[in-house]
Structure 1
Amino acid sequence: MFATLVRRMAGGPIPPRLRNATATPLVEAYNSPYKPKKIWPPDFSKLSQKEQFRFERRYKRRVKLATARPRWDKIVRLAQLFSVTSVLIYSVLFMDWQTENQPFQGLRSKFWGVLGAFSPAQRDERRTPDIAAITNSK
């Protein structure tokens, strides 16, 4: 980023033919032999209420279409969903509430009990048969 900025500053001034090239089409548009049928923006003081409302509706619809960014909106919605969900999961399962009665203690104990059944120690206990139970059953 800074290398590009330094390179552009060291390049010198923009030649005059390139500087005026951007302004030329704009000037030509105003000097066009084809005049527009309608003047934009219209003079709202000369329009009726119904015509004003139609122009407003049309303008709002066009602005909404021009500013629509569906990919960005989807990313923002997903980021919001992820952040809210992660905060809720953290507050329910991991957060220390610094109180005597934890509000989600029942849910926590049930969750960690189910998750604890998949721990390596619990898995080994399930795999090895209880020797005392086997000898007593004989």
Structure 2
Amino acid sequence: MMNLKKQFTLSIAATAVLLLTAGQAHAQSGSRLCGFIAVDTPNKVGLLYEARTKDASYKKQCDEAIGKMKHKIDATPQLKAMTWQEVKRWSCEDVGNKGFVNKGESSDICDKMEAKVGYKVTKAGAASATYAKQ
């Protein structure tokens, strides 16, 4: 009987660890997005980088990401033809609410991204957004 109780306790503990670990895979509090978004047409595009405010180089990371993305926009005729808005340390939800999520979806788009990685986020009409690492 004692062995069954011990196994049950270990099972509960293991489940709790798995749940905590899974929760950490999503965006952490303090995530901010930097880059550019083009949202003036039914098709939305974001060139975005997720930075963490807890990093000592947080502002530098954002500035560098913005610079690289600006260069990419200027060097690509299709991108240059779009109307871009700079995103400088915006919350994940603020960017999501600019047209990158459908009704009923979480506006925290960082849940679909990894920190310190550049992404091209595209959303065509009513389809869900796609996230491509750059």
Larger radius of gyration: 1
User: Shorter-chain TM-score: which interval?
Assistant: under 0.3
Which of the pair has the greater relative contact order for Cα pairs under 8 Å at 6+ separation? 2
Q: More strand per residue: 1 or 2?
A: 2
TM-score, normalized by length of structure 2? Answer: 0.24
TM-score, normalized by length of structure 1? Answer: 0.24
